[in-house]
Amino acid sequence: MLGFDQWLIHSVAAKSVTTPVALGITESAGGNSSIAAVFVMIAGISGAMFGPFILQLCRIKHPVARGLGIGTASHAIGTAKALESGQLEGGAVSALAMTISAVIVSFLVPIFLVLF
């Protein structure tokens, strides 16, 4: 809709998962894996930097909810940051959310790229 080139769309479509999964999805979709790696790192670092503040601003205090949000949005870097808050939030829930997110995105991105 915004007029971006297809290779750019295919490169950033999988930015919401951890780097190895995103690179595999990007290569199979015909995108540029270097651009995908940069966008994955930007998502992870910004989520680790701003995620705890945003969760606090939104008054999300439950460790499961915090771990789910950080693990889904900011991958392994965010999971390491969430581990500082506690074992439940960082060690368990964030890692599980990161893994489930990778599985779901690896199935959905190719479908959405074909449809759109």
Q: What is the pLDDT of residues 11-30, one digit of tens each?
A: 898 888 888 999 999 998 88
Contact assessment for residue 74 and residue 54, using Cβ atoms and an 8 Å cutoff: no
pTM score of the predicted model: 0.83
Look at residues 115, 94, 109 and name the one whose alpha carbon lies nearest to residue 23. 109
Residues 97-111: b if buried by 16+ CB within 10 A, e if exposed:
bbeebbeebbeebbe
Look at residues 50, 101, 48 and name the one whose alpha carbon lies nearest to residue 78. 48
pLDDT tens digits, residue range 61-116?
A: 998 998 898 888 888 888 888 888 887 777 788 889 999 999 999 899 889 888 87
